[in-house]
Amino acid sequence: MNEQLFDTSLSVLQQIKIPHFTSRGIQLFVKRDDLIHTEVSGNKWRKLKYNLLQVEQGNFAGLFTFGGAYSNHLLATASAANKADVPVIGFVRGEELNENSNTTLKRCSDLGMKLIFLSREEYGMRNDKQYIDELKLEFTNYYFVPEGGGNYLGMVGCQEIWKEITLQIDDVFVAQGTTATSCGLLLGKPVNTTLHVVPALKGFDAYAEMFSKLKWFLFQDELASDLLEDVKIYTDYHFGGYGKYTNELLTFIQEIYKEHQLPLDPIYTAKAFYAMIQELEDVSFNKKTVLFVHTGGIQVCEEIEKKNKIKLFTN
Ligand SMILES: Cc1ncc(COP(=O)(O)O)c(C=O)c1O
């Protein structure tokens, strides 16, 4: 497989000029990973790259993964596996669904992903070792990628974002789900950079989840907690929780697009960007160079625009 299956050079660094911040010496940049590819966008190629290489180098017959009916991860996996010519199975939450239930599932199926629909009960076992081992017996020599691509190799891929940043960054903001992207950024960051994470989930214990993921790399509790001292977690910007959003957030997305031609999605990136704009009010950010990592997710906007009868991205 070609390591450069998707061209990350498309992910430019966009400077955002907000006079109110510029006058305080704050320089704000966005790493536009959403531009990598329409389907394998944002953190998706970062998380999938080494997993797909593993399938090839380990001589696996294919891979299987999990996702909900509108999963960004499922679609990205179907698209990347199609390009890498890797057979792929997607286990979907909801036995009542089929490949024509929505555009995401239809596209996954058209890309060659074999979709298997599970009851919510069975789907609930997606992280149980015994359940995964049974699937590995049933689908012989298939490689397992967890929901969201949040495994060790996913985190290795996310560390690579730093290779493409030549500026010295004081503070980096990112949206959080499984924590794989934020942990990857944390492991690869320069020593004096602070990582600011914004969970999209309500009541999520980001610290505990990050701690356990960091231990895959660092082994010792002490090293993981030392590294977590460079992290600030903002738990109050979930806008109701995962998959939820408010009219205020939708208006914010419209305004940011109008001002800066920066598309954000209401599930992850708009929440994190909104949090960053609020937090940058603090004087401790004066004269700082700040980076926002755009983790993609824009493809959900079409569905959200239809549902709310609005346009998010107009000039
Ligand atoms: C658009 C978008 N942003 C952010 C995240 C959160 O990333 P992670 O699950 O690695 O924390 C996700 C989930 O993968 C996502 O789809």
Instruction: Give the CATH number for residue 19.
Output: 3.40.50.1100
Whether residue 187 is found in the same domain as residue 212: yes
Q: How far is the centre of ligand 1, averaged over its atoms, from the C-alpha of 24 (Å)? A: 31
Model confidence over 174-190: pLDDT tens digits?
999 999 999 999 999 99
Q: Which atom of ligand 1 is nearest to the CA of 41?
A: 1
Question: Residue 187's pLDDT is what?
Answer: 98
Closest CA to 136 of 79, 81, 58, 75: 58
Whether residue 179 is found in the same domain as residue 260: yes
Question: Residue 3's pLDDT is what?
Answer: 73
Whether residue 89 is found in the same domain as residue 106: yes
Question: Residue 167's pLDDT is what?
Answer: 97
% of the chain exceeding 70 in pLDDT: 99
Helix (H, G, I), strand (E, B) or coil at 289: strand
Would you say residue 2 has pLDDT above 80? no
Closest CA to 301 of 13, 11, 41, 14: 41
Whether residue 173 is found in the same domain as residue 278: yes
Contacts of 43 (CB under 8 A, 6+ apart): 33, 149, 158, 180, 181, 293, 295, 296
Question: Residue 66's pLDDT is what?
Answer: 98
| DSSP character string of 263-275 | ---TTTHHHHHHH
Question: Residue 52's pLDDT is what?
Answer: 96
If pLDDT is split at 50, 70 and 90, which confidence band does 54 have? very high
Of the candidates 149, 175, 194, which is a domain's last residue? 149
From the CB of 270, is ligand 1 less than 6 Å away? Answer: no
Whether residue 168 is found in the same domain as residue 255: yes
Amino acid, single-letter form, for residue 28: L
The preferred substitution site among 176, 179, 182, 216 for testing ligand 1, maximizing ligand atoms within 8 Å of CB, is 176
From the CB of 176, is ligand 1 less than 6 Å away? Answer: yes
Q: Which atom of ligand 1 is nearest to the CA of 297?
A: 1
From the CB of 268, is ligand 1 less than 6 Å away? Answer: yes
Q: Which atom of ligand 1 is nearest to the CA of 176?
A: 11
Whether residue 171 is found in the same domain as residue 269: yes
Distance from C-alpha of 142 to C-alpha of 61, rounded to nearest angstrom:
5
If pLDDT is split at 50, 70 and 90, which confidence band does 5 have? confident
Six token digits for residue 163: 């290779």
Would you say residue 309 has pLDDT above 90? yes
Question: Residue 144's pLDDT is what?
Answer: 98
Of the candidates 149, 183, 208, which is a domain's last residue? 149
Whether residue 183 is found in the same domain as residue 297: yes
User: Average pLDDT for residues 58-86, to the nearest whole number?
Assistant: 96
User: Average pLDDT for residues 108-118, to the nearest whole number?
Assistant: 98
Q: Which atom of ligand 1 is nearest to the CA of 148?
A: 14
Q: How far is the centre of ligand 1, averaged over its atoms, from the C-alpha of 199 (Å)? A: 9
If pLDDT is split at 50, 70 and 90, which confidence band does 4 have? confident
When the pLDDT of each residue in the chain is averaged and rounded to a whole number, the result is 96
Question: Residue 303's pLDDT is what?
Answer: 87
Whether residue 296 is found in the same domain as residue 193: yes
Distance from C-alpha of 92 to C-alpha of 118, rounded to nearest angstrom:
6
From the CB of 151, is ligand 1 less than 6 Å away? Answer: no
Would you say residue 265 has pLDDT above 80? yes
Q: Which domain holds residue 304?
A: 8-41+152-308
User: Average pLDDT for residues 81-88, to the nearest whole number?
Assistant: 96
Whether residue 178 is found in the same domain as residue 207: yes
Could you tell me if residue 2 is inside a domain?
Answer: no
Whether residue 161 is found in the same domain as residue 267: yes
Residues 310, 312, 313, 315: is their CA dihedral positive or negative? positive
Model confidence over 123-170: pLDDT tens digits?
999 999 999 999 999 999 999 999 999 999 999 999 999 999 999 999
From the CB of 41, is ligand 1 less than 6 Å away? Answer: no
Whether residue 140 is found in the same domain as residue 156: no
Would you say residue 109 has pLDDT above 80? yes
Q: Which atom of ligand 1 is nearest to the CA of 178?
A: 9
Whether residue 202 is found in the same domain as residue 298: yes
Of the candidates 126, 149, 172, which is a domain's last residue? 149
